[in-house]
């Protein structure tokens, strides 16, 4: 009799309830579609966070690429050679030889090169556009002695006239090139009358007015005279005062910087110091790092706001659906089934927000790049990771509400 009773109890054992993945996803979808407006607003925070994340990384990569291209086109083709003879020998004179332009230009990859320095005039010397003793007002303007190669390497855009050439420089003619700003201050508006500027009491015929330059922009605020003429009037510069501007072909700057000191002074290359441009990779990495640190913080803030929104909405849904949860528990649903259901809903909202945010972020990058005529750059890893970030955000935001839901007792829930 006892044996039969035990057999009946064993046969009548209750099977534990299960919650298949298909049913779990269906219930999560039904929960979101039950209140579509609320679900859309809940996912909006994640949309903004993920969209900002994708847009920031894409715009940073695009901007870095554009900076790299401009850097290669201009700055990466510029080398400066400095006179450091005074640091090596206190009795040394100017380190650049008379034929410095020709020596450096002979190097492979050099387009133009020239020596320049700021002329040291008396404190009473001013630049004016009329003879000494007239009523015209003079100005304190920098006077730069420069060989013709400097003007070629600077790649100026002329407003009027022409640059002085090597013949004028070799013959030490009294000619000058001035910037538009200097011409305006001196009252020179046209070159048809062959105007002259007076540096002290020495006249210089103005051959050209510079509107803009690709390199060495300080020429726009100076009076530029031939190097040979400056040496004739004011003498050679002191050691350490002169420098050389070198314009190179793309990719040749580093090599030219290594060879220039020896080409100029094979007897004392240590008298000259060549300064090559910084590496484009380092510049791009610095720009990308600064932009990433600044804007990723904004993306993180948006994601936090989105997570709080999802957590709040999910918690409200748990309170509103207490009766439903109690009924499910009474019909055999286990606590982990309820937890899985609410985690699936919050995760689905996060993933949906991540997908929409990724799309909006990519569209933003492409739109900005098209408006600026840039090439859009979006790394595939960013596009793949963004929806996962939204999913993780949604799951993390739903942990506490799902735990609260799993702790609801059936009897207590059914009494409400």
Looking at the structure, do residues 114 and 257 belong to the same domain, yes or no? yes
Within-domain flag for 194: yes
Nearest to 336 by CA among 23, 31, 22, 18: 18
Cβ atoms of 394 and 347 within 8 Å: the answer is: yes
Q: At what angle do helices 21-34 and 335-371 cross, to 10 degrees?
A: 60
Looking at the structure, do residues 236 and 265 belong to the same domain, yes or no? yes
Task: Give the predicted TM-score (pTM) of the model.
Answer: 0.54
pLDDT confidence of residue 135: 41
Looking at the structure, do residues 53 and 135 belong to the same domain, yes or no? no
Question: Which residue shows structure tokens 């855009």?
Answer: 157
For residue 406 the two structure tokens come to 């799993």
What phi, psi does 248 have (nearest 5°)? -115, 170
Within-domain flag for 152: yes
Within-domain flag for 234: yes
Residue 235, number of CB atoms within 10 A of its CB: 10
Within-domain flag for 146: yes
Cβ atoms of 198 and 127 within 8 Å: the answer is: yes
Residue 248's domain comprises 76-277
In what helix (H) or strand (E) does residue 9 lie, and over which residues does it extend?
A: helix 2-11
Query: Count of alpha carbons within 13 Å of 379, Cβ hemisphere only?
Result: 13
pLDDT confidence of residue 206: 94
Q: Which of 277, 302, 325 is the last residue of a domain?
A: 277
Separation CA 53–CA 51 (nearest Å): 5
Q: Which of 277, 301, 316 is the last residue of a domain?
A: 277
Within-domain flag for 25: yes
- Which residues are within 8 A (CB) of 70 and not within 5 positions of it... i.e. 6 or more apart? none
In what helix (H) or strand (E) does residue 78 lie, and over which residues does it extend?
A: strand 78-83
Looking at the structure, do residues 198 and 345 belong to the same domain, yes or no? no
Cβ atoms of 45 and 310 within 8 Å: the answer is: yes
pLDDT in tens, the chain (416 residues): 434 444 444 444 445 566 566 766 676 677 666 777 767 777 777 787 788 778 877 877 777 666 655 555 556 788 999 999 888 888 888 899 999 999 999 999 999 999 999 998 765 567 787 654 444 455 678 899 999 999 999 999 999 999 999 999 999 999 999 998 888 888 888 898 889 999 888 899 999 999 999 888 888 888 999 999 999 999 989 888 999 999 998 778 889 999 999 999 999 999 999 988 765 555 556 556 666 676 667 767 766 776 776 777 767 766 666 666 777 777 677 777 778 877 887 888 888 888 888 898 889 889 988 888 888 888 888 788 888 888 888 888 778 877 877 777 766 655 65
Q: Which of 262, 277, 292 is the last residue of a domain?
A: 277
Question: Which residue shows structure tokens 């206190």?
Answer: 90
Looking at the structure, do residues 228 and 359 belong to the same domain, yes or no? no
Q: Which residues, in sequence order, are bridge partners of residue 274?
A: 81
Looking at the structure, do residues 260 and 113 belong to the same domain, yes or no? yes
Looking at the structure, do residues 58 and 110 belong to the same domain, yes or no? no
Looking at the structure, do residues 223 and 361 belong to the same domain, yes or no? no
pLDDT confidence of residue 47: 82
pLDDT confidence of residue 4: 45
> CA distances (Å), 110 to each of 105, 156, 246, 271, in order?
5, 17, 7, 21
Looking at the structure, do residues 143 and 226 belong to the same domain, yes or no? yes
Say if strands 196-199 and 202-213 run parallel, antiparallel, or are unpaired: antiparallel
Q: At what angle do helices 335-371 and 280-320 cross, to 10 degrees?
A: 140
> CA distances (Å), 259 to each of 80, 154, 324, in order?
12, 21, 82
In what helix (H) or strand (E) does residue 211 lie, and over which residues does it extend?
A: strand 202-213
Domain count, the chain: 2
Cβ atoms of 358 and 386 within 8 Å: the answer is: yes
Looking at the structure, do residues 301 and 398 belong to the same domain, yes or no? yes
Within-domain flag for 6: no
- Which residues are within 8 A (CB) of 108 and not within 5 positions of it... i.e. 6 or more apart? 252, 255
For residue 321 the two structure tokens come to 């659906």
Looking at the structure, do residues 206 and 174 belong to the same domain, yes or no? yes
Looking at the structure, do residues 188 and 265 belong to the same domain, yes or no? yes
Separation CA 39–CA 253 (nearest Å): 58
Within-domain flag for 9: no
Within-domain flag for 13: no
Separation CA 384–CA 362 (nearest Å): 12
Cβ atoms of 15 and 321 within 8 Å: the answer is: no
């Amino acid at each position: 009799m006892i044996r039969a009773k035990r057999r009946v109890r064993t046969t009548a054992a209750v099977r534990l309830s299960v919650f298949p993945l298909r049913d779990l996803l269906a219930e999560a979808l039904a929960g979101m579609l039950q209140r579509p407006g609320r679900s859309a607003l809940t996912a909006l925070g994640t949309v903004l966070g993920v969209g900002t994340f994708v847009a920031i990384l894409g715009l940073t990569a695009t901007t870095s690429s554009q900076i790299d291209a401009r850097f290669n086109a201009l700055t990466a083709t510029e080398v400066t050679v400095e006179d450091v003879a005074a640091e090596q020998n206190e009795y040394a004179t100017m380190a650049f030889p008379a034929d410095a332009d020709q020596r450096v230009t002979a190097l492979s990859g050099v387009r133009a090169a020239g020596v320049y320095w700021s002329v040291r005039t008396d404190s009473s010397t001013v630049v004016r556009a009329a003879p000494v003793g007239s009523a015209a007002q003079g100005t304190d303007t920098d006077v730069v002695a420069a060989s013709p190669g400097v003007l070629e390497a600077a790649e100026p855009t002329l407003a009027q006239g022409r640059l002085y050439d090597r013949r004028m420089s070799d013959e030490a003619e009294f000619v000058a090139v001035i910037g538009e700003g200097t011409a305006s201050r001196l009252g020179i508006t046209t070159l048809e009358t062959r105007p002259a500027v007076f540096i002290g009491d020495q006249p210089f015929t103005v051959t050209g007015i510079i509107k803009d330059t690709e390199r060495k922009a300080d020429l726009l605020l100076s009076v530029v005279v031939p190097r040979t003429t400056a040496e004739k009037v004011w003498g050679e510069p002191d050691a350490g005062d002169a420098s050389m501007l070198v314009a190179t072909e793309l990719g040749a700057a580093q090599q030219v910087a290594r060879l220039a000191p020896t080409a100029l002074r094979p007897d004392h290359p240590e008298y000259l110091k060549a300064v090559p441009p910084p590496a484009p990779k380092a510049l791009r990495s610095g720009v990308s790092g600064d932009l990433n640190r600044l804007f990723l913080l904004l993306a993180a803030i948006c994601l936090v706001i989105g997570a709080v929104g999802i957590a709040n909405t999910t918690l409200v849904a748990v309170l509103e659906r207490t009766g439903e949860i109690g009924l499910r528990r009474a019909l055999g649903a286990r606590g982990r089934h309820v937890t899985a259901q609410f985690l699936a809903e919050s995760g689905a909202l996060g993933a949906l927000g991540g997908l929409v945010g990724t799309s909006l972020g990519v569209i933003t990058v492409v739109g900005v790049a098209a408006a600026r005529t840039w090439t859009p750059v979006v790394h595939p890893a960013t596009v793949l990771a963004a929806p996962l970030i939204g999913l993780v955000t949604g799951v993390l935001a739903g942990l506490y509400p799902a735990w609260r839901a799993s702790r609801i007792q059936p009897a207590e829930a059914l009494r409400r």
